[in-house]
Homo-oligomer: A and B are copies of this chain.
Amino acid sequence: MEGSPPLLSPAEADRRLRAAGVRVTAQRRAVYEALAADPLHPTVEAVHSRLKKNWPSLPLPTVYRIVEDLAVAGLIRRVASDGGPQRLDANAERHQHLVCRACGRMEDWTSAGLSGLSLPRSLPDGFSGETYDIRIVGLCRTCSAKAEARGIIPKRRKS
Contact = CB atoms under 8 A, between A and B. Distances in A.
A38 B114 CA distance: 31
A77 B26 CA distance: 41
A130 B135 CA distance: 11
A80 to B, nearest CB: 4
Given A109-B123, A129-B136, A83 B85 contact: yes
A25 interface: no
Given A82-B78, A82-B80, A83-B78, A99 B133 contact: yes
A85 B124 CA distance: 26
A62 interface: no
Interface residues of A, number: 43
Interface string A131-145: 111111111110011
A130 B137 contact: yes
Contacts of A78: 82-83
A81 interface: yes
Interface in A100-152: 100-101, 109, 111, 113-114, 119-120, 123-141, 144-145
Interface of A: 68, 77-86, 98-101, 109, 111, 113-114, 119-120, 123-141, 144-145, 156
6 contacts: A80-B80, A80-B82, A83-B85, A126-B144, A127-B140, A133-B134
